Amino acid sequence: MGKHGARSMTTELKVLLPDSSEKLRISDELAECFDSRDGGGRMTAFLVSPFGTAVWRVEVGRDSDGAFLGRRWPEFVQAHGICVGWFLVLCHEGRGVLTIKAFDATYFIKEFGQTLTVPGLGESQIETGRARKPQFISPFYHDWMEKMPIPAEFLKRGYISDEELNRRMTTFVTPFLDFWHIDLEKDGSNVFFAGAWSKFMEFQGITEGEVLLIRLFITLPSYLLNCDTNNLFDCNGLQPLPGSFCKKVGFTETCKITLKSSEKKGSWEVHGLVYEKIWQWRLSGGWKMFCRDNRLKEGDVCTFKVLKSKLWHVDIERC
């Protein structure tokens, strides 16, 4: 089986140079993710438009200088309005599929809806392109180990909420679903990631010269639970939840839900039980273990922040 038959995740950061609009140089590692379909020397990458609808068959070629994206790459660049000096994040998703994120000169992810010229694209697809999760990219400098400035454009668009600014704290979620509470430090109109930021960088093994990709993780509605003896000790490990909240977050049938805690590393799997005929939703199974491991006691407040319908982050506020 060739490389198209297996999932191979390879990510690469490129800067679009003046000659990169015609031929984009890529690493040998990324080029090796693609096979030639006909057994010859020509390879093809299935480059997915940021709108997720159009797929461009782009040549993956080689010459004396190495591997590159060639035929149909110039048309892709022109159609999407990608400019010299932008950062591009290429990711091989497996089976020859290549996705791309483009960040403009402000380090902010490009909203493609205003420049796309691909024929036949409807308004709904354009809105999909505009609705990508806000994110920015930034080279990491040694001076930023203690605190790192947040790009002005990210702040201008209100992606750091007033609530976060007022309590001077935000939450980072790593690719491994670890949660870190990071201080927000204000200095005039500037805002910095600070506090536990240095420990977070050290723990992730990030060093000078590497590039950070920070994406806004928009949570679904949250639910606040005031802990008392009923939901901590007496209900055979069953925790009732309001039906209106559960339906809003997609908890509509009996399933397993993963809980992450603001106070301890790791995760807890609980059973989500649905009795829709009698309008009851409950957490069971691992809920009692979650309470014990996190030493919840009467008077504590738990805020369930739903990242996905089956992945919930629990912020614990002690009484």
pLDDT tens, 97-152?
888 888 888 888 876 543 334 344 444 443 433 334 678 888 888 889 999 998 88
Q: Tokens 């993780």 identify what position? A: 217
CA atoms lying within 13 Å on the CB side of residue 204 = 23
Interstrand relation of 255-261 and 267-275 (parallel, antiparallel or unpaired)? antiparallel
Q: What is the pLDDT of residue 197?
A: 93
Q: What is the pLDDT of residue 128?
A: 39
Query: What's this model's pTM, rounded to 2 decimal places?
Result: 0.57
Task: Report yes or no: 137 and 89 within 8 Å, Cβ to Cβ.
Answer: yes
Query: What's the rounded Cα separation, in Å, for the pair 281 and 290?
Result: 18
204 has a pLDDT exceeding 90: no
**pLDDT tens-digit profile of 302-313?**
888 887 778 888
Buried b (16+ CB within 10 A) or exposed e, 88-116: bbbbbbbbbbbbbbbbbeebbbbebbeeb
DSSP β-ladder status, 311-317 and 255-261: parallel
Q: Is 267 a residue whose pLDDT tops 50? A: yes
pLDDT single digits (tens) 87-98? 898 989 888 888
